[in-house]
Structure 1
């Protein structure tokens, strides 16, 4: 078997001080076999995971449209005829989260109990809080940090 060199793994590393993700390269010597295993997850349209992603994206878009400096950590989950949106959001935007949920569900085609969710009659739970001051302080750009907080 030919020498393929070191195995390279790339991982994301979060720096809470600067509020950024960075790519970290890890090298390890590993034996490579003649086989290659590729795995992935795929969901079809209408899948609850896809619906939840689209609702969270719509919340983010609504916040950024009114306030480009919004900080959004929004999650969504769903079960039969119920959608819950929760997380921490710091924004000056005035966002109607329930309307975003219903509009997104309706646009996708969830308009009847027959498909498991009726956008106009489903229960919508919203639990959005302000981002904690500690996270907000760490998530702002370096040039906005108080002088004593800047790293060299």
Structure 2
């Protein structure tokens, strides 16, 4: 059990860094670096801002919701003797999507979700499904490598 938690925490940290970088690049809409910075300072600025975004926005959701849900999914699948990779992958994506929608509804209000434009819905669905998929893939690769 401790080994599983350790793997999930490592996966969560790597996922947060990956997703935070992607989210920062998408949210910045191409205006990533100031014009007066040179290339090294610009890359450093992107690195710092994406790490800040990872730690503030992504990591709390992954630690508070993603890791416990992932441990619960693994436990349930183990109890039913189902070590099917596809089922695990789908359950991770669906469960995290539902949790983020609930969290988002509580944080911003249900009205924001109901009256959201279609491009924004597609963008958010991509973001909400991307993170658990990356989390699952990193966890899967670590557990495969440990065997």
Decide which structure has greater helix share. 2
Larger radius of gyration, structure 1 or 2?
1
If asked which structure has higher relative contact order (CA below 8 Å, sep 6+), I would say 2
Decide which structure has greater strand share. 1
TM-score by length of 2: 0.33
TM-score by length of 1: 0.32
